[in-house]
Structure formats: C-alpha cells, structure tokens
Amino acid sequence: MQPAMERALTASPPRPTGAAPSGAAGPGRGDAAGVPFASALVIDDHPLFCEALTLMLREMGVERIETADRLAKAYARLEAAPAPEVILLDLTLPDAEGMDGLLRVRRLARNTPVVVVSSLEENRIVGSVLRSGAAGFVPKHSPRDVFTRAFAAIAAGEVFRPDGFVEGDDTPDETEQAIERLALLTPQQARILELVCEGQLNKQIAWELDIAETTVKAHITAILRKLNVRSRTQAVLLAQNARYRKILHDASGAN
C-alpha cells in the first residue's frame, strides 16, 4: 500500500463547529459523530492497509475489530461465532474466486452488512458488487469521512454508492446475471449447489448434510427455479460461469 493511502485513511476531516476536541471522550455507539457499529471484521491481505483501516475504525469508535487475511480464515471465523456488526471485504484476496467470495461471506454473516472496500472502482465492478448484495462499496483510497457516510447510510438501511457511480450505466452481461441469481439462494441451497458442482448425487448430499433425500430434491427444485435453469448440468455451468475471474482480471489489468 502506498503511504498516501494510509494517510488518507487515518487523516480526520476538519472538525465541525462545536465538535469535541481531539482527546476528549470518544463518541459511544450510535453517536452521530461516531459509527453505529460496535464490532467489525476486516478481510484484507495487505498488512499496512489493514493496520491503517483498523486504526481508523478504532478512532471512529468501533470497539472490537478482528482481521482475516484470507477468505478461508474469514469463513472459519464466521462459522465459529456470531458475526460482528459490520464486515469490510476486499475483492482481490489470494484465495478469492471472484464474487463468489462476497456471496459466501454474505450467507455466513446472515444479516450483517458486508461493505466492499476495493481499488477496483470501475462502474461495472461497483454495480456487480451492489447487485450481489453488498451493503455498500467504498473505494480503497477513500478518506475517513467517506467511511463515516457509508456507515451512517448502511445503519439507516440504505445501500452506500460511491461518488461517481452511475446507476444503470452498467448493463449486466450473462456472467453478472448469473451472480445476481446465485445471490438469491439461501445458505443451505448454496451449500447443496456446491456439492452438486462437486458431482455428488442426492443420496450423497443427504448424507453429507444429514438431511432427508427428499429434502435435497426439494432444495434442488428450488435452486433450479431461482437460477432459471432446467437441469443440474445447467445449474453447474451457471455456477462455474459466475466465478467472475474474467471481470476482476480485466479490471485489475486496466489499473
């Protein structure tokens, strides 16, 4: 990470008239000057950026901050304990396979908002992230006040869109449409689809998940309906198409 990025994260915006001076008792959770989240999970593999972001969150009033430098570590954390109140996720992680990382984090986190913090700022990427269910998108170089606005909007039930993003200016292609359909699946349906992609039969899936085979069949019927496909093979092809490597690699190469 460039030093300028770290300075942008840690620098505070000009203090408004009447604001408490630096060193005064920090705002508590829910204070208009602070953030509405008491805990956060940062998923990013760049140590300096992660450190700077963690410092900024602490200064903003987030009390408990955990970090993970791999999706696998984040998955293990989310499966082992209740999710934090907000998750900040980078798209380009060593073990990330495109947008399916965002989709799985969302499913494991249940109702916890997931904010993508990425240097991939193309309109097409931002639109795909938001259609995949992210609570917001914050460019990585953003200063503290942008994160403050993002958290306030998300806490109010809104989706945070970065400055410059043009709604509807990125017509979804076939791959992006596949991502949107996969985002409709429940956690159980997503797990079953993963096992179908591995070539497992209904009986094997039932044993793996400790559920009835009839339940597996019902889930697969629902999966095919949500994905708008007619067969297991078509569902597998759609899931493979949604790995999203191409769009991320294209965007990375453009920077």
> Over the stretch 116-155, which tens digit does the pLDDT of each residue have?
999 888 888 888 888 888 999 999 989 999 999 999 999 9
| CATH code, 103 | 3.40.50.2300
Answer yes or no: do 125 and 229 share one domain: no
Number of domains in the chain: 2
Q: How far apart are CA 148 and CA 187, in angstroms?
A: 30
> Over the stretch 41-51, which tens digit does the pLDDT of each residue have?
999 999 999 99
DSSP assignment string, 29-81: TT-TTS-S-SEEEEE-S-HHHHHHHHHHHHHHT--EEEEESSHHHHHHHHHHS
- Give the three-class secondary structure for 88: strand
Beta strands in 69-135 (DSSP E): 86-89, 114-118
What is the pTM for the complete model shown? Answer: 0.64
Instruction: Evaluate whether residue 88 is within a structural domain.
Output: yes
Is the CB of residue 8 less than 8 Å from the CB of residue 143? yes
Answer yes or no: do 52 and 138 share one domain: yes
| CATH code, 215 | 1.10.10.10
Answer yes or no: do 142 and 67 share one domain: yes
Instruction: Evaluate whether residue 200 is within a structural domain.
Output: yes
Region 229-247 average pLDDT: 74
Higher pLDDT, 170 or 254: 170
- Tell me which DSSP letter residue 230 carries: S
Answer yes or no: do 122 and 212 share one domain: no
Residue 222 — φ and ψ, nearest 5°?
-65, -35
Residue 167: per-residue pLDDT: 73
Could you tell me the residue range of the domain that residue 245 belongs to? 174-254
Answer yes or no: do 193 and 247 share one domain: yes
Answer yes or no: do 220 and 146 share one domain: no
Instruction: Evaluate whether residue 160 is within a structural domain.
Output: no
Which of 104, 125, 155 represents a domain boundary (last residue)? 155
Tokens representing 18? 């009447």
Residue 94 — φ and ψ, nearest 5°?
-55, -35
Answer yes or no: do 108 and 217 share one domain: no
Q: What is the dihedral of CA 11, 17, 19, 21, to 10 degrees?
A: 70
